[in-house]
């Protein structure tokens, strides 16, 4: 696609019909909880969108986010959206390597200064710059440098959005999220470990359509995808309401598909679109396969205790400490009783003296 070609023209040259394109637009609109009347606007906007330049930086990450994205059920219009942007820099996907790769980044930054989109996956180590480097440049420096000319930053995956697994206790690398470093640019957090592919593309679609960042929740996530909990949308919710729970992974409740709350499902506290959009071409999602939600789209999800610990259970319980507290209480009790006894004996003597 030529840079001066708009998306609509490009799609037609790629053999995507108007009908197919509109189908995508309405799916995108509904995904973003836009009214049906917005479909035309989405279509028009997308069709006339100029290919924006996208720079994708990967820091302390596992490439799962990219894997997720590439596994989006291609060939569909989502993947074409990716063709439709100018992905000028992406370690895993780009052909160029070594200095050529870095040159591509610098070229894209110069050419599209102030207009390019920066996508980041992975967290940034602050403990020691040597923990993670690209072409000898520390993650921190590269992020700061690249973010300077970006129109907006999309933090893809929980690591980039909230620190994720690298930040999990004891956080040996001093990992932080993008928003811990970049404070002067609009940041969209597309969390998840990994995020749902259509959520990533949906966010991009929104940006292409409206040229603005979508409405975000207090954690910087688009409310269109992260506005409701897994629990709110879970098909097993009626069993929760009725108090029917699976107690183990192979009991009657598990076989009957009852609520997994007792097995540690984090659905009630996890905001994501898994229960509606699902994975693998809308096939299923973790709860559908009989496993509780891990809450991977939430900050600190690795540190909320065991994945199999119910959310109403305490995260703390040390019998030794409580025995210690009991011992301390006993000591205080004994002390106060002894002091009271001594005082009483004195008072008895006094009152004997008073009344004799």
Alpha helices, H only, 211-268 = 223-226, 230-233, 237-242, 252-255
Q: Does 171 bind another protein (CB under 8 A)?
A: no
Please identify which residue in 268, 278, 291, 308 interacts with another protein, judged by CB under 8 A. 268
Q: Does 343 bind another protein (CB under 8 A)?
A: yes
Which one, 185 or 309, has the nearer CB to another protein? 309
- CA 123 – CA 118 distance, rounded (Å): 14
Q: Does 310 bind another protein (CB under 8 A)?
A: yes
- CA 279 – CA 281 distance, rounded (Å): 6
- Buried residues in 268-299 as b, exposed as e (16+ CB within 10 A): bebbbbbbbbbbeeeeebbbbebbbbbbbbbb
The footprint of another protein on residues 211-240 (CB under 8 A) is 229, 231-232
Q: Does 255 bind another protein (CB under 8 A)?
A: no
Which one, 144 or 341, has the nearer CB to another protein? 341
- Buried residues in 82-118 as b, exposed as e (16+ CB within 10 A): bebbbbbbbeeeeeeeeeebbebbeebbeebeeebbb
Q: Does 90 bind another protein (CB under 8 A)?
A: no
Q: Does 35 bind another protein (CB under 8 A)?
A: no
Q: Does 321 bind another protein (CB under 8 A)?
A: yes
The H or E element containing residue 120 is strand 116-121
Unique residue bearing structure tokens 């009483």: 344
At its nearest, how many Å lie between another protein and the CB of residue 264? 9
Q: Does 326 bind another protein (CB under 8 A)?
A: yes
- Buried residues in 205-215 as b, exposed as e (16+ CB within 10 A): bbbbbeeebbe
Which one, 94 or 171, has the nearer CB to another protein? 171
Q: Does 289 bind another protein (CB under 8 A)?
A: no
Q: Does 174 bind another protein (CB under 8 A)?
A: no
- CA 320 – CA 23 distance, rounded (Å): 61
Unique residue bearing structure tokens 């002390």: 335
At its nearest, how many Å lie between another protein and the CB of residue 229? 6
Which one, 195 or 267, has the nearer CB to another protein? 267
Instruction: Give yes or no for a contact between 66 and 99, defined as CB atoms under 8 angstroms apart.
Output: no
Binding region for another protein (CB under 8 A): 229, 231-232, 241-243, 245, 261-262, 268-269, 299-300, 303-305, 309-318, 321-322, 325-326, 328-330, 332-334, 336-338, 340-341, 343-344, 347-348, 350-351, 354-356
């Amino acid at each position: 696609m030529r840079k001066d070609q708009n998306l609509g023209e490009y799609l037609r040259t790629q053999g995507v019909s108007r009908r197919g394109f509109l189908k995508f637009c309405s799916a995108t609109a509904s995904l973003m909880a836009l009214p049906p009347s917005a479909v035309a606007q989405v279509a028009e906007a997308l069709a006339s969108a100029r290919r924006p330049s996208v720079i994708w930086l990967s820091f302390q990450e596992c490439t799962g986010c990219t894997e997720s994205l590439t596994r989006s059920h291609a060939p569909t219009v989502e993947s074409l959206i990716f063709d439709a942007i100018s992905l000028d820099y992406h370690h895993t996907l780009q052909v160029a390597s070594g200095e050529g790769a870095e040159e591509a980044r610098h070229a894209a930054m110069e050419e599209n200064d102030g207009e390019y989109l920066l996508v980041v996956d992975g967290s940034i180590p602050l403990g020691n710059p040597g923990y993670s480097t690209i072409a000898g440049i520390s993650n921190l420096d590269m992020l700061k440098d690249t973010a300077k000319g970006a129109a907006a930053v999309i933090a893809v995956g929980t690591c980039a959005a909230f620190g994720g697994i690298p930040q999990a206790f004891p956080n040996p690398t001093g990992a932080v999220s993008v928003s811990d470093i970049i404070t002067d640019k609009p940041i969209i957090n597309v969390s998840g470990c990994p995020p749902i592919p259509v959520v990533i593309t949906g966010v991009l679609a929104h940006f292409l359509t409206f040229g603005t960042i979508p409405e975000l929740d207090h954690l910087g996530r688009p409310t269109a995808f992260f506005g409701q909990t897994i629990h709110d949308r879970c098909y097993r919710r009626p069993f929760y309401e009725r108090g029917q729970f699976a107690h183990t992974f192979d009991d009657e409740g598990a076989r009957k598909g009852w609520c997994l709350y007792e097995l540690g499902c984090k659905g009630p506290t996890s905001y994501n679109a898994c229960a509606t959009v699902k994975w693998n071409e809308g096939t299923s999602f973790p709860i559908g396969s009989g496993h509780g939600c891990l809450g991977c789209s939430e900050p600190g999800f690795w540190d909320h205790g065991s994945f199999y610990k119910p959310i109403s259970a305490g995260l703390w319980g040390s019998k030794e400490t409580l025995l210690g507290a009991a011992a301390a209480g006993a000591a205080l009790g004994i002390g106060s009783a002894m002091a009271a006894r001594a005082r009483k004996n004195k008072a008895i003597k006094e009152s004997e003296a008073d009344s004799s």
